[in-house]
Amino acid sequence: MSAHVKGRIGSHRTIDEKPSLTLDFSRYLRDQRFHGQEKIHLNNSVEDASYMNELVGSRLFGAAGIPAPRVGHAIVFLNGRRLGLYVMKESFGASFLSAAFPGDSPGTLYEPEIGHDVDESLRGKRARSGVGRENPSPSRLAEALKDPNLDSRWERTRALLDVDRFIRFMAWEVVTGHRDGYCLARNNFRLYYDPAKHRFTFLPQGMDVLFGTPDMAWKPDMAGLAARSLMERPEVQAEYRRQLEEAVKNQMDVRALCAVVDERVARLGEAVTPSERASLEEAAQSLKTRMEQRKSSLTAQLAAGDRKALTFDRGFELLTDWTARDVPDGGALRRDTRQGRPALLIEAGPRTSASWRSRVRLTPGRYRLDTEVQTLGVRALGFGSRHGVSLRRAGSDDTCVAAELSDRRWASVWLEFLVEGEGDAELLCELRASAGRAWFALDSLRLTRLAGKEPPAR
């Protein structure tokens, strides 16, 4: 057996701390299994104090007909040292794939590099040994999704992708608020080519942060290429809404999910320390509350229907409806007054990636978001990108970073972006920092519709 320390920025811990581990039972003995598994993952769950998000996500996606690895829990010891409670996950190995995609010919599982979409580098691996013809590359799917002719794109994509299952996948990523998943963040997914159906299927991954934003829009900006491309089709938009309504009304049984969480917490409570149990119960209660809030929010949003697109009768619109997101430990987000001006304040804690967000509906065209910002004592984070103040459009690469602002002076910051199809856009005033404050003047937050089609090069 081999043990591999795993984890990415934010969740990685060294072997001397509480590392996430992959245990490979067949690394040196090809046919060796542990309880039928060739490999399991032990996740330290540093992003999820409830240890329940992966379990809930796996149950929901699996019940919707979207294969997801099974999830359990374990108390882990390393060389006699108690590491504590872990989330234990089935791997995307041969046993999982054979059960999820039965057939005689082996398919191919693709894993992306960090931040890569289907049109970038993906590592492919045959699901199991066996004889079968060569499976198509994801690059063929990417080419189909990028076809500028919508009708041709639709036909080519349907020939390569299980579209019905993908629309369901999209709906459930939104229902669960999987903000770090494929559709919303172009992250945390696997792609499997099923030779029995001659189609690709997207599989969910990295579901340790779910339901974090209970009021997230039912039709958000999509980041993943497949999601963006398909949502340009009116029939896909209609089917997506139908799937979402079905999920919220008939499939998201919050009472049953809460019962699953309660039962698992009660069992784990007998195996952990009193302080661990108290923390587990508190975080689990927060998860149950967020699930209830998410279902209520989606029910209300779907009943209200689509918001109306901004008209820009004066050439611009003042944006006044802003919601605080990701309030940091040791920091704050609140409406404030700075030098006599009403403002949105972000006060950083030691690890802050927080924002004020406004959602608007826009028709195709070029737009410019303007604001005036003042900072005080802002210090960069020790990791990641977009340090300091930035304006962003969620689900896209549209970002304007204003990292070097002078303290105590108002500075103009702006972001230009292109909208290709009518839809909702979520605009962010963001601060990523380890200390300091940033004020965004409310009377300066305006969105202007520009003439022309393409934003200028920056």
What would the pLDDT profile of 154-193 be if each residue is shown by its tens digit? 999 999 999 999 999 999 999 999 999 999 999 999 999 9
361 occurs within a structural domain: yes
Question: CA 334 to CA 35: how far, in whole Å?
Answer: 51
In a domain, 344, yes or no: yes
| pLDDT of amino acid 128 | 59
Q: For residues 79 and 63, which has the higher predicted lDDT (pLDDT)?
A: 63
Of residues 425 and 134, the one with the higher pLDDT is 425
Do 220 and 326 fall within a single domain?
A: no
**Is 172 part of any domain?**
yes
Q: Which of 77, 95, 105, 123 is nearest to 32 (CA)?
A: 95
Q: Does 356 lie in the same domain as 239?
A: no
pTM confidence score: 0.76
* One domain for residues 342 and 227: no
pLDDT of residue 397: 77
Last residue of some domain: 195, 230, 251? 251
213 CB-near residues (< 8 Å, 6+ apart): 177, 179, 325
Q: Do 228 and 326 fall into the same domain?
A: no
> Cβ distance 240 to 206 under 8 Å?
no
Cα 348 from Cα 170, distance rounded (Å): 33
Q: Indicate whether 95 and 211 sit together in one domain.
A: yes
Whether residues 243 and 345 share a domain: the answer is: no
Whether the predicted pLDDT of 456 surpasses 60:
no
User: Do the domain assignments include residue 355?
Assistant: yes
Nearest to 39 by CA among 54, 28, 59, 24: 24
**What whole-number distance in Å separates Cα of residue 59 and Cα of residue 56?**
5
One domain for residues 245 and 394: no
Contact 160, 204 (CB under 8 A): no
**Do 116 and 226 sit in the same domain of this protein?**
yes
CA distance 272 to 268: 6
455 confidence band (pLDDT: 50, 70, 90): very low
Q: Which of 234, 251, 268 is the last residue of a domain?
A: 251
275 by Cβ neighbours in 10 Å (0-12 / 13-18 / 19+) ranks as: exposed
> Has residue 256 been placed in a domain?
no
Alpha-carbon span 327 to 346, nearest angstrom: 8
Average pLDDT over residues 405-413: 82
Expressed as residue numbers, the domain containing 356 is 316-450
Chain mean pLDDT for the chain: 90
Q: What angle do CA 328, 330, 333 make, to 5 degrees?
A: 50
| 92 three-class SS | coil
Write the CATH number for 382. 2.60.120.260
pLDDT tens, position by position, 278-317? 999 999 999 999 999 999 999 998 988 777 899 999 999 9
* Residues above pLDDT 70, as percent of the chain: 94
Q: Which amino acid is at 78?
A: L
Position 15 scores a pLDDT of 75
CA 425 to chain centre: 16
Q: Is there a single domain that holds both residue 359 and residue 246?
A: no
Domain membership of residue 455 (yes or no) is no
Q: Which residues, 6 or more positions from 179, have their beta carbon under 8 angstroms from its beta carbon?
A: 185, 209, 212, 213, 216
Contact residues for 386 (Cβ-Cβ < 8 A; gap 6+)? 392, 399, 401, 430, 432
**Domain final residue, candidates 251, 274, 302:** 251
pLDDT reported for residue 403: 64
Highest mean pLDDT among 214-218, 242-246, 416-420: 242-246
Domain count, the chain: 2
Q: How confident is the model at residue 457 (pLDDT cuts 50, 70, 90)?
A: very low
| Token duo for residue 188 | 């945390």
Are residues 71 and 197 located together in one domain of the fold?
Answer: yes
Residue 240 lies in a domain: yes
Same domain as 110, residue 244:
yes
CA proximity to 238, closest of 219, 220, 255: 219
Across the range 239-249, mean pLDDT stands at: 97
Please give the Cα distance from 243 to 357 (Å, whole number): 26
Structure tokens at 43: 């996740």
Query: What is the token pair recorded at 392?
Result: 């962003």
**Would residue 289 count as lying in a domain?**
no
Same domain? 430 vs 331? yes
Structure tokens at 153: 């794109």
The three-state DSSP-derived secondary structure of 167-225 is: HHHHHHHHHCCCCCCHHHHCCCEEEEEECCCCEEEEEECCCCCCCCCCCCCCCCCCCCH
- 111-160 tens-digit pLDDT: 998 778 999 988 888 765 554 567 889 999 999 999 999 999 999 999 99
99-131 core/surface letters (b: 16 or more CB in 10 A; e: else)? ebbeeeebbbbbebeeeebbeeebeeeebeeee
Closest CA to 182 of 137, 150, 238, 220: 220
Cβ atoms 4, 58 nearer than 8 A:
no
| pLDDT at residue 406 in the model | 65
Q: Can you give the length of the chain in residues?
A: 458
3-state secondary structure of 28: coil
- Each residue of 358-369: pLDDT tens digit? 989 899 999 999
DSSP reduced 3-state for 282: helix
State the pLDDT at residue 391. 95
Give the separation between CA 284 and CA 235, rounded to whole angstroms: 38
